[in-house]
Amino acid sequence: MTDKSLLRTVADRGVVAPDRNRLQRFDWLLEALAIFVAEGIDAVRVTRLADELGVTRGSFYWHFSDRAELLDSLAAYWRDKNTPAIVDAVSGAVSLRDGILRFFEACVDPTLFDSRLDLAIREWSRRSDAIAKQMRAADNTRIEALSDMFKRNGYPMPEAFVRARVIYFAQIGFYALDVKEPMATRLGYTEAYFAAFTGKQLSTREADAFRDYMTAKFEHP
């Protein structure tokens, strides 16, 4: 799910007093993002964007020096959205239970972590060394944050690092395999997932509280 406020912040970087009454970098980025996530990086073309927005190609070059600058902004939006969602969730956790459940929440809430965007970037990284480097850095940062959470909660190295890898790879694999599962079903596995990832037990009371919270959050955004 697109964070329009964040996207506008990315779009307006380096722009002095943008005129809100005319088509902006934000509008081009918003359209480019939708095409990128749905169809991949090759589909993000200046002519296609201009047609979708109902303007001329010249309007694009008023805001961007070239297509590469637009693509750099897409990557910047991804960097500013997805990795902080995971890092912030687990870095501020006050306990192992809190950290794992906050990680679960971040991964299933598209307003926090956009899995479709992450997969689109991952696909792009297979054809771009620069994006591949950014993807590796993001993966390492996320795993490091998870590893630090496990270490803070008494897990020695390298166990903390391996558990961080396991929980992270499992989540990325869930999206990569395009698993279709109702939220209620996924939440029903909360205790089993917690036990598998931590080697510890989550009480039914704690699991029910998390399920109630998540159900309410998604039913009443």
Q: What is the pLDDT of residues 19-57, one digit of tens each?
A: 554 688 999 999 999 999 999 999 999 999 999 999 999
Query: Are 44 and 116 found together in one domain?
Result: no
In CATH, what number is assigned to the domain containing residue 48? 1.10.10.60
Q: What is the pLDDT of residues 136-162, one digit of tens each?
A: 999 999 999 999 999 999 999 999 999
Query: Are 151 and 131 found together in one domain?
Result: yes
Query: Are 87 and 179 found together in one domain?
Result: yes
Query: Are 64 and 85 found together in one domain?
Result: no
3-class DSSP assignment, residue 177: coil
Query: Are 94 and 134 found together in one domain?
Result: yes
Query: Are 60 and 115 found together in one domain?
Result: no
Query: Are 64 and 83 found together in one domain?
Result: no
Contact 57, 47 (CB under 8 A): yes
Q: What is the pLDDT of residues 165-220, one digit of tens each?
A: 999 999 999 999 999 999 999 999 999 999 999 999 999 999 999 999 999 998 75
Q: Which domain holds residue 124?
A: 78-219
Query: Are 34 and 108 found together in one domain?
Result: no
Query: Are 93 and 201 found together in one domain?
Result: yes
Q: What is the pLDDT of residues 100-137, one digit of tens each?
A: 999 999 999 999 999 999 999 999 999 999 999 999 99
Amino acid at 2: T
Query: Are 54 and 85 found together in one domain?
Result: no
Candidates 124, 125, 82, 138; CA nearest to 107 is: 82
